[in-house]
């Protein structure tokens, strides 16, 4: 049995019916996606469909700044006050830009550029309620896994600050490795975010190549065969070096020499990701 947590409030972020100057806004993120998933899950009788619990704003404010949450709560209403004809709230720039002003603008019209990513992220009349309940869906599902059956004790989250350095990262890693050792897995799947190395164009950690290699060496010392799945890493001239550094150190940690002098090599393999036709990541051979 596989429970599914679902709410129909996601439909309130009605990107499939968002119009601007008589033209429907294009969007891949439409309510029909969730509805198709729910219909298929119900048809296959995989398990019950569960409504989310309401955990309030506390968990949201634990991971988002209060000013961002407040903006989402009131943005459309404030914007609509100045509009003769209702329309989606969009950034004024027309291109995707991952960069953002260092300081929060004081004027409300400028906040759309500060908080909104691109034209596929309009703020609509029901966006806040849909976003709030989507978070409650995720929290409810996480609680089901954390507190029920085989999921008890098998989740460990270790939040790290922006500009995390080698020492802070390695302390968190040691905590994670202790938990993994106690669990005694037969195999390990490792998500390799190469954007953790300092200088990445998107990542905000400050690990050195030396610290990065030490991360890999300690993971290798678990002695568990592992699959390494390449994930982030956006500074093209550095990601090759970061990958080789990690895999070389991982292999060093995995290779074990027994007291009698015999040598054992534990297996590791790498899965690389590249962009798929719609710009998301997917495995390639």
Token digits for 282? 């997917």
What pLDDT shows up at residue 113?
Answer: 77
Candidates 59, 46, 41; CA nearest to 140 is: 59
**Alpha helix (H) ranges present in 221-257?**
236-254
For the stretch 155-164, pLDDT in tens is 788 999 999 9
Per the CB < 8 A criterion, the answer to whether 155 and 142 are in contact is: yes
Per the CB < 8 A criterion, the answer to whether 73 and 64 are in contact is: no
Do 4-147 and 156-283 show the same overall fold? yes
Instruction: Output the CATH code of domain 156-283.
Output: 3.40.800.20
Domain map (residue ranges) of the chain: 4-147, 156-283
What pLDDT shows up at residue 88?
Answer: 85
Token digits for 271? 């899965």
pTM: 0.56
What pLDDT shows up at residue 257?
Answer: 43
For the stretch 66-81, pLDDT in tens is 999 999 999 999 888 8
Kindly report which listed range (84-88, 172-176, 226-230) carries the lowest average pLDDT score: 84-88
- The span from the CA of 274 to the CA of 172, in Å, is 29
Candidates 151, 171, 139, 156; CA nearest to 63 is: 139
* β-sheet bridge partners, residue 192: 230
The domain over range 4-147 is classified in CATH as 3.40.800.20: yes
3-state SS, residue 98: coil
């Amino acid at each position: 049995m596989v429970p599914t947590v679902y709410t129909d409030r996601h439909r309130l972020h009605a990107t499939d019916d968002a119009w601007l100057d008589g033209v429907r806004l294009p969007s891949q993120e439409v309510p029909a996606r969730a509805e198709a998933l729910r219909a298929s899950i119900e048809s296959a009788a995989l398990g019950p469909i569960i409504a989310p619990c309401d955990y309030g704003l506390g968990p949201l404010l634990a991971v988002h700044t209060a000013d961002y949450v407040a903006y989402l709560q009131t943005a459309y209403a404030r914007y609509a006050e100045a509009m003769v004809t209702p329309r989606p709230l969009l950034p004024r720039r027309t291109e995707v830009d991952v960069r953002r002003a260092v300081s929060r603008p004081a004027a409300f019209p400028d906040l759309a550029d500060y908080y909104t990513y691109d034209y596929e992220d309009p703020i609509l009349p029901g966006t806040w309620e849909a976003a709030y309940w989507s978070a409650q869906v995720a929290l409810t599902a996480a609680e089901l896994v954390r507190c029920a059956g085989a999921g008890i004790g098998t989740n460990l989250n270790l939040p790290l600050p922006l500009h995390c350095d080698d020492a802070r990262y390695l302390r968190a890693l040691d905590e994670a490795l202790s938990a993994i050792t106690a669990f005694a897995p037969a195999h390990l799947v490792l998500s390799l975010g190469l954007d953790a190395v300092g200088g990445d164009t998107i990542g905000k950690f400050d690990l050195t190549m030396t610290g990065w290699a030490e991360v890999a060496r300690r993971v290798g010392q678990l002695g568990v065969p592992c699959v390494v799945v390449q994930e982030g890493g956006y500074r093209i001239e550095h990601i090759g070096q970061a990958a080789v550094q990690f895999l070389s150190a991982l292999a060093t940690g995995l290779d074990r020499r027994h007291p009698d002098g015999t040598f054992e090599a534990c297996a590791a393999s790498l899965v690389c990701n590249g962009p798929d036709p719609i710009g998301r990541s997917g495995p390639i051979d």
